Structure 1
Amino acid sequence: MEIRIGIANTPRELSFESAQSAADVTKTVEKALDSEVSFVTFTDVKGNTYIVPTAGITFIEVGTEESRRVGFVA
């Protein structure tokens, strides 16, 4: 699923594909914000790790788990 994260004072958002479910991503972010942790960590499908400061998060968009359709619709 695609995850987009807006970071304060940054003109572009961070966008990557994750193997985690939407519920797992939501739990991770909620736990980090509730416990006032300085950073939250995400890993994409290629194994890259992203460390995002929780104070700078402006929004997080979690895409759907539905795969994209390919082809023509009749």
Structure 2
Amino acid sequence: MDIRIGIKDSPREISFDSSQTAEEVQALVLDALDAGHLAIDDAKGHRYIVPSANIAYVEIGSETARKIGFVA
């Protein structure tokens, strides 16, 4: 699943793949709004921690696998 997190006052976003489902990611984001920070792991085992006050948006992508190779 592709996840993108926009950070306030930053021209770049955090973008990574996660092995969690869309529902799990959404629950983490909603809990982060109350907890003060978002902690989420990517598919490689890295952990991202973002203060919830600095989150501009969270985009949760599709769970479908990407195609590999050339498309004719």
TM-score normalised by the chain length of structure 1? 0.87
- Matched with 2:43 is 45
Runs of 5+ unmatched residues, structure 1? none
Deviating 4+ runs (over 3 angstroms) = 70-73
Q: How does 1:1-74 map to 2 (within 5 A)?
A: 1-33=1-33, 36-70=34-68, 71-72=70-71
**Which protein is bigger by CA-based radius of gyration?**
1
- What's the % identity of the aligned pairs? 44
TM-score when normalising by structure 2: 0.89
User: Unpaired segments of 5 or more residues in structure 2?
Assistant: none
Q: CA RMSD in A?
A: 1.2
Q: How many pairs align?
A: 71
Residue 41 of structure 1: CA displacement?
0.2
